[in-house]
Amino acid sequence: MHTPKKPKLLITPVLRFLVLWVVLFILTGCQGAQKLRDAQNAFNEGARLENELMFKSAFKQYGLNVNDQNVIGAPSVGRPEPHYAAALEILQSIGDAGNAELEKDRLLGTKITLEALCQWKLGRGTQAISLAETALDHLDAENEPRDWVIAQALPALVISDEAYARIPNVFTGKDQSKFDDIENRLLTADRSAKTYIDKATGRAKDRPIEIWLLQVELSLYSSWLKARSNILGERELPEKEKGLLIGKCERLETIGKRYAHEDQKKAAKELADGWRETIFGTINP
């Protein structure tokens, strides 16, 4: 019997990645770049707090003591949303002159991408997608692949959030049309979340980006499985998808093996095993 569950290992991998991503190398001294630095710092703080809140929630779920200061995710003060809002306000305060300076220094696409991320984290999906599309007009997939991939993938995060919110937490009766709608949003429509991830994956050039995109794709299928279970009442994982997802987890582990340091390889293995447990209920499907 297939019973998806959420293990301790997998807690907001997207957010943890974003904390790393916004620490960029900005060497120019223009006013626009300084504001971009300030906005990045504010966004980082929001992501850090959100990570901690997610960790605390997960530790409570598993009956662990979140007040133990040796536990990752021990309580901290504050909510992330004000930091995302502060970052957005800073970015929106950069005027035409500052934007022109950023464009000259090839940072305007980065600024717009960060603005889109802020809108996403503040729950404004439509604005986030619009900004991500604008960012792509100012990014070079060859010379700025990481920023380009984030902007390309961001609509998938919005679509995934919206689809997941439509999935009930328990089975209340079969509803095929509702399931079809969610499946289309996640995986099968022309502008599904997976479509954006597939396009972004084609340009991924480094391990952190590849690992992040694989996790986003696995999260789409995890949501799809929850929809099958809670909307259709079907808990068995179809063989086609089972083979596909086994391959995705193996790919995640294989990418990790390319790291030079053993602790990085171990972390990638644990990440892959976490997804196996999430999707299959076991690390040996």
d(CA 43, CA 38): 9
Is a pLDDT exceeding 60 seen at residue 17?
A: no
pLDDT at 56: 62
State the pLDDT at residue 10: 40
Confidence class for position 153, pLDDT limits 50, 70, 90: very high
Q: Kindly report, residue by residue over 173-225, the tens digit of the pLDDT.
A: 999 999 999 999 999 999 999 999 999 998 887 888 898 899 999 999 999 99
126 versus 63: which is more confidently predicted?
126
Read off the pLDDT band of 119 (50, 70, 90).
Answer: very high
pLDDT (0 to 100) of residue 55? 62
Q: Kindly report, residue by residue over 218-246, the tens digit of the pLDDT.
A: 999 999 999 999 999 998 999 999 999 99
Give pLDDT tens digits for 24-66.
Answer: 444 445 678 889 999 999 998 998 888 777 766 554 544 544 4
**pLDDT tens-place string over residues 259-284:** 888 988 888 898 899 899 989 988 88
Q: Does 174 reside within a domain?
A: no
Q: By residue range, what is the domain housing residue 37?
A: 1-138
Residue of higher predicted confidence among 172 and 87? 87
Judge whether 149 lies within some domain: no
69 located within any domain: yes
Burial environment of residue 65 by CB neighbours within 10 A (0 to 12, 13 to 18, 19 or more): exposed
Mean pLDDT of the chain: 83
Domain tally for the chain? 1
